[in-house]
């Protein structure tokens, strides 16, 4: 039986398409309500295959997957989709309607929501994703970034317990990334679970606490973001780049400037440099940096 505290639980999950080698091998995960998690890994690591198990699009070849305590082998995709919303990397794979407004309505109508509630949620989702002026446009006339925000609005509108985002910041400018970050904060406060598959290391530094790294279909690491993003050997093994601030700390260390190499944030680096300035008697320089 699944642990009732977990909204997602996988037990010894293996998956292979018929006649092929295993794409996922021995995946054991427990994800709790309210967690914001990033799944990292190089292309082909099995990230998208894994998240497709979370709403039943794929079923385990061996092992079990439980969503809100229900075994996905015993649940339909329609049943699971009411509780698990997935926004895929390519928005064109999940756009069906003639207009932006109808696209956001689509899932709610299928779930049998009341008309007045649908109208209210459509307005909310349009505002949240900055799509109000496009409500009567065909989705296919929007840019790729706008279509991605549309698919996100459509999923958010029906308020699933679990939201899964596949490369949500790809094709988004700074303003739209901040909009997505605000949305994630809103979901965090409402105790929703958010799982994000991404290559955007800079985006996740301030937005998640837990990171899962996949490599060749297996879990290479599952734990604290600082331990992951400042571990040179682990990142090299996973073929991932560290955050820019961490790279700077490593470069300073390589040039005999003694700063910790587990730095993630610019404020941390600044404080270390201020401390070094004071240590060598450069109080005036430190004061100017601080100002």
Whole-number percent of the chain with pLDDT over 90: 68
Domains of the chain: 1-83+167-175+193-240 (3.40.50.300), 246-290 (no CATH)
Mean pLDDT to the nearest integer, 126-145:
93
Confidence at residue 3, expressed as pLDDT on a 0 to 100 scale: 55
Buried b (16+ CB within 10 A) or exposed e, 199-238: bbbebbbebbebbbbbbebebbbbeebbebbbbeebbeeb
> Phi and psi dihedrals of 261, rounded to 5?
-95, 5
51-61 pLDDT tens trace: 999 999 999 99
SS3 of 214, please? strand
| Alpha-helical regions (H) of the chain | 47-51, 77-81, 100-110, 115-128, 144-157, 174-189, 201-204, 225-229, 232-238, 244-254, 266-279, 283-290
Confidence at residue 20, expressed as pLDDT on a 0 to 100 scale: 83
Q: Does position 207 have pLDDT exceeding 60, yes or no?
A: yes
Confidence at residue 257, expressed as pLDDT on a 0 to 100 scale: 85
User: CA separation (Å) from 51 to 38, 56, 100?
Assistant: 12, 9, 26
> Phi and psi dihedrals of 197, rounded to 5?
-90, 125
Sheet with strand 6-15: strands edge to edge = 24-32, 6-15, 62-67, 70-71
Separation between Cα atoms, residue 42 and residue 58, nearest integer Å: 21
Please tell me the total number of residues recorded for the chain in this structure: 291
Q: Per-residue confidence at 142, pLDDT binned at 50, 70, 90?
A: very high
Number of other residues whose CB lies within 10 A of the CB of residue 9: 23
Q: DSSP assignment of 164-191, as one string?
A: EEESTTTT--HHHHHHHHHHHHHHHHTT
Confidence at residue 274, expressed as pLDDT on a 0 to 100 scale: 85
User: CA separation (Å) from 274 to 101, 165, 251, 253, 290?
Assistant: 52, 39, 17, 16, 7
Query: Residue 212's beta-bridge partner residues?
Result: 39, 222
């Amino acid at each position: 039986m699944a642990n009732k505290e977990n909204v997602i639980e996988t037990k010894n999950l293996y998956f292979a398409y018929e006649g092929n080698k295993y794409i996922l091998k021995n995946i054991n995960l427990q994800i709790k309500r309210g967690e914001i998690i990033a799944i990292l890994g190089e292309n082909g690591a099995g990230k998208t295959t894994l998240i497709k198990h979370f709403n039943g699009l794929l079923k385990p070849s061996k092992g079990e997957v439980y969503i809100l305590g229900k075994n996905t082998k015993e649940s339909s995709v329609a049943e699971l989709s009411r509780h698990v919303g997935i926004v895929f990397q390519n928005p064109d794979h999940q756009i069906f309607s003639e207009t932006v407004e109808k696209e956001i309505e689509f899932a709610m109508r299928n779930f049998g929501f009341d008309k007045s509630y649908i109208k209210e949620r459509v307005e909310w989702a349009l505002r949240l994703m900055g799509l109000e002026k496009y409500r009567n446009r065909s989705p296919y006339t929007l840019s790729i970034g706008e279509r991605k925000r549309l698919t996100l609005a459509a999923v958010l509108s029906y308020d699933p317990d679990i939201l899964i985002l596949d490369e949500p910041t790809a094709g988004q400018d700074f303003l739209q990334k901040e909009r997505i970050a605000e949305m994630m904060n809103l979901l965090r406060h409402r105790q929703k679970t958010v799982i994000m598959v991404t290559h955007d290391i800079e985006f996740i530094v301030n937005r998640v606490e837990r990171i899962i790294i996949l490599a060749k279909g297996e879990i290479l690491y599952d734990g604290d973001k600082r331990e992951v993003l400042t571990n040179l050997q682990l990142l090299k093994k996973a073929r991932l780049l560290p955050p820019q601030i961490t790279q700077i700390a490593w470069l300073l260390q390589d040039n005999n400037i003694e700063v910790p190499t587990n730095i993630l944030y610019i404020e941390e680096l600044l404080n270390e440099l201020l401390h070094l300035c004071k240590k060598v008697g450069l109080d005036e320089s430190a004061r100017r940096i601080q100002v």
